Structure 1
Amino acid sequence: MKIIILGAGQVGSSVAAALASENNDITVVDTDSAKLKDLAERMDIRTVQGHASLPSVLGHAGAEDADMIIAVTSSDEVNLIACEIADIVYKTPTKIARLREAEYLQHPELTAKTRAAVDVAISPEALVCNHVQRLIEYPGALQALDFADGRAQLVAVRAVPGGALVGHEIRELRSHLPSHVDARVAAIFRAGLPIIPEASSRIESGDEVFFLADRRDIHTVMNELRRAERPVKRVFIAGGGNIGRNLARALEGRFSVKVLERSKERAKRIAEDLLKSIVLVGDCADEALLREENIDQTDVYCALTNDDEANILSAMLAKRLGCQRVIALINRPAYAELVEGGTIDIAVSPQQVTLSALLTWIRQGTMVRVHSLRRGMAEAIEAVAVGDRRTSKVIGRSLEELQLPDAATIGGIVRGDKLLIAHHDVVIEPNDHVIVFLVDKRQLPKVEALFRTDATWI
């Protein structure tokens, strides 16, 4: 697949790294020659220096025969114009634009398929807001991901001493759950390394466990791996930017929410926009202020400023002062890997959240949803079984008959409104949504080939 990425910033670089390893023909366009040189040295990709919205630059990058344009520069206007030029001048089939300004997103006609140049608009702020909101709704979860429009969820938790299943084999999970609840452990990461789960695999304290279940049963399964967490009532948000403000707006009807913003003028605007939240003016690293606002009685502290260092320090401070759970927004992947799982419970990477949304549109064929996991090491994929037994390699076959690569496991199948947890005798039917967990992305082509239809299969 020939893909042009406009913008060599953190998101553009992350997307290029993810796609270059999958035998795609990648070209990155940016005005910064130093960034392009660094990318070219680290990856087998082509680079073009120039303004992304200029027709000549797009032409030099190969827009005429490109399959896809991904516009992720720091300017919404450049992204929109570049997609329009790619559509009108070069007839590029698929155009994806990152849009940060909420007002653009409030006009769906900008991405209406019948007439707009942008096929897909992605808002990193909205994606991160939804991601953090889900983490707050599931206390103790490291990640909570939707499949089949929310009918099934994949949740990652860290097993801790005291959990009912810690120190026991996976096969015992079923006996611990109520008769109406079923779940599947899709993968285990121990000391950063993946373990393909078998019935005899033993869950140890500190393991990062990914399991799939019906969304109504998530809390029940989580309690088998962790001690029951107290319900979230109080949320403290540091940073009143787009993410912090939108998160407060989404939460204030269900939780007691406080927002801390350094700028007095912005804090005033936020207070006028929110209905029930308390808005404070001050520094998120001010220990006296946090004590005064009873941070020790806060259930979740979210550091969501645009400064990585401030987020890390304030989250560590809030934890030390007694906050039960702290979440920090961290742009630099190296920082996120260093701090997560220590004093800071969860490090949220906007690049990884955005990459998941992009991969859903980039993957070919029957892949309808893709989530990037473990800083891009693994993926969770929702694939639709299409065709019939003659044209499909999966339809009409039980799960034990499928020729899955070693690094892949099937967690479950969504059929209509029902989630069927993967057991060896489950038979795949047409239009089933199959949820696959892949711990080694190098084996992705084998998974894609498995769900691809052929005219003369058998």
Structure 2
Amino acid sequence: MKIIICGAGQVGSQIARHLSSENNDVTIVDQDPALVRRVTDSYDVSGVTGFASHPDVLERAGAEDADMLIAATFADEVNMVACQVAHSVFSVPQKIARVRAQSYLAPAWSDLFRRDHMPIDVIISPELEVARVALRRLRSPEAFDSENFLDEKVSLVGLSLTDECPVLNTPLRQLSELFSTLRAIVVAYRRDGVLHTASADDQLLAGDSIYLVALKEDVARAVQLFGRKSEPAARVVIVGAGNVGLSVARMLEKDPARPRVKMVERDRRKAEAAAETLNRTIVLLGDGMDPILQEEANIRDADAILSLTDDDKSNLLSAARGKAAGCRVAIALTNDPGYGELGERLGLDALIVPRATTVSSILRHVRRGKVRAVYAVGDQEAEVIEAQVLATSPIAGKRLRDASFPEEAVVGAVLRQNGTVEMPSGDLVIHEGDRVVVFSERRVVRQVEQLFRVSVEFF
């Protein structure tokens, strides 16, 4: 594919990194020559310096024969105009825009992005994506990572293993035999900083981080099997009343479990606006890192603290201080994935990286074949892909053991057309119309894609 990426910031550069490694023809556009040079020096991509919304700049980037334009600059308006120009002037088939301002996304203005108004095929909202991730973390606070697939019937869950895990040093094959009614499978583990695809003979050790795929109703049991408690957060403290914090608070207010929520915001204007907007959330004015204010928020009895301001260091410190005060789970928002090790040392349970969630959202629209969802794992080291099997897909009608999946990929679950979910086994036959969840290391993603593509004979 020939893809133009507008914006050479964190999101744009990571998408360029991902797509160029898969032999796509990628061109990055940014008005900052230093950013363009950094990306072109680091990855196998072309670069154009200039305003991404200007027709002459897009022409130099090759928009006339581009398959896709991804507008991910810092300015919503530039992203939207770039998509408009790509459509009206160059007839680019698919256009994706990152839009952050919630005013553009309000239901009252949904007609704005109709094809005959502003033709954007896919809109990505980082704030809403991050809010949804935060909500999933609260529903499974013992997990450092989580994502839903197959119409939310199946969950990917990331767990850190301690010495208290009762199934250490046990081959995964043996676990499947001992707990035959548990519909869950370990698909990957991280050891000494390296991510590995799990095989039946692998054994887990204390200190490993694992990724498992489980049916929604079996997640709690699977979590307990690996020595962790599964208790949804009933009392939550949110630090930060920005777009992300407000979105999370609104979602929690609609949650049928009706958790008790307190919000801390140091900016008086934002705090007052949040108090007027929210109905059941108690809003406190002050610094989330202040121990006295945390005590006022009763942090020691809270199930979770979510630090969601736009300052990474404040988020890390306020979450760490809340954890030290007795809060069960501490989660922080950070734009720098490099803070992962620091977060562990501070005792944080999970970090939310907006860049990773945005990249995952965009990738699902770039993948070939009948791909319905994509989730990037770690620092884009692997992907979890949900794809539908077509009649002429190479794996249709084959048993899993004969389906030619690479060793660096493993099937996590299969959704049949009748709505039932089946866990993988060597004799499981893949049928046309099935939806399959696959964990794949990055270097074999293209091979996995090919297994779901329409065969040449179809034409």
Same fold (TM > 0.5): yes
Deviation track 1:290-338 (CA, whole Å, cap 9, x = no partner) reads 1232211111111100011111111121122222111111101222354
1:133: how far off? 0.2
Query: Does the C-alpha gap of structure 1 residues 175 and 397 become closer, same or farther in structure 2, counting only changes over 3 Å?
Result: closer
Instruction: Tell me the amino acid that sits aligned with residue 146 of structure 1.
Output: N
Aligned ranges for residues 260-279 of structure 1 at < 5 Å? Answer: 260-279=264-283
Larger displacement relative to structure 2 (145-154 or 161-170): 161-170
Larger displacement relative to structure 2 (28-37 or 299-308): 28-37
Find the aligned partners of 2:156 and 2:337 in 1 and give their Cα distance: 23
Instruction: Tell me the amino acid that sits aligned with residue 255 of structure 1.
Output: P
2:94 is aligned to: 94
2:348 is aligned to: 344
Query: Does the C-alpha gap of structure 1 residues 9 and 250 become closer, same or farther in structure 2, counting only changes over 3 Å?
Result: same
1:357: how far off? 0.5
1:114: how far off? 6.7
Deviation track 1:158-206 (CA, whole Å, cap 9, x = no partner) reads 1223233233332343455483x41111111112223332333222222
Find the aligned partners of 2:191 and 2:116 in 1 and give their Cα distance: 48
Find the aligned partners of 1:353 and 1:257 in 2 and give their Cα distance: 24
Find the aligned partners of 1:338 and 1:23 in 2 and give their Cα distance: 34
Aligned ranges for residues 239-254 of structure 1 at < 5 Å? Answer: 239-252=240-253, 253=255, 254=258
2:173 is aligned to: 171
2:55 is aligned to: 55
The share of aligned pairs that are identical, in percent, is 38
1:227: how far off? 3.1
2:153 is aligned to: 151
2:164 is aligned to: 162
Find the aligned partners of 2:320 and 2:244 in 1 and give their Cα distance: 20
SS of corresponding position for 2:261? strand
1:449 is aligned to: 450
Find the aligned partners of 2:393 and 2:233 in 1 and give their Cα distance: 46
> Aligned pairs, how many?
452
1:227 is aligned to: 228
Instruction: Tell me the amino acid that sits aligned with residue 262 of structure 1.
Output: R
Aligned ranges for residues 304-319 of structure 1 at < 5 Å? Answer: 304-319=308-323
1:117 is aligned to: 119
Deviation track 1:331-384 (CA, whole Å, cap 9, x = no partner) reads 012223542475121111100000000000011122221100011111101121
The correspondence for 2:337, drawn from 333, 338, 346, is: 333
Q: Give the TM-score normalised by structure 1.
A: 0.95
Conserved? CA contact 2:140–2:231, under 8 Å? no
Conserved? CA contact 2:142–2:228, under 8 Å? no
Conserved? CA contact 1:340–1:347, under 8 Å? no
Instruction: Tell me the amino acid that sits aligned with residue 46 of structure 1.
Output: S
SS of corresponding position for 1:312? helix
Larger displacement relative to structure 2 (393-402 or 187-196): 187-196
Find the aligned partners of 1:250 and 1:453 in 2 and give their Cα distance: 39
Find the aligned partners of 2:187 and 2:117 in 1 and give their Cα distance: 41
1:67: how far off? 0.7
SS of corresponding position for 2:457? coil
Conserved? CA contact 1:176–1:224, under 8 Å? no
Q: Give the TM-score normalised by structure 2.
A: 0.94
Residue 84 of structure 2 corresponds to residue 80 of structure 1:
no
Find the aligned partners of 2:205 and 2:51 in 1 and give their Cα distance: 52
Structure 1 portions without partners, runs of 5+: none
Alignment root-mean-square deviation, CA: 1.7
Conserved? CA contact 1:151–1:418, under 8 Å? no
Query: Does the C-alpha gap of structure 1 residues 203 and 233 become closer, same or farther in structure 2, counting only changes over 3 Å?
Result: same
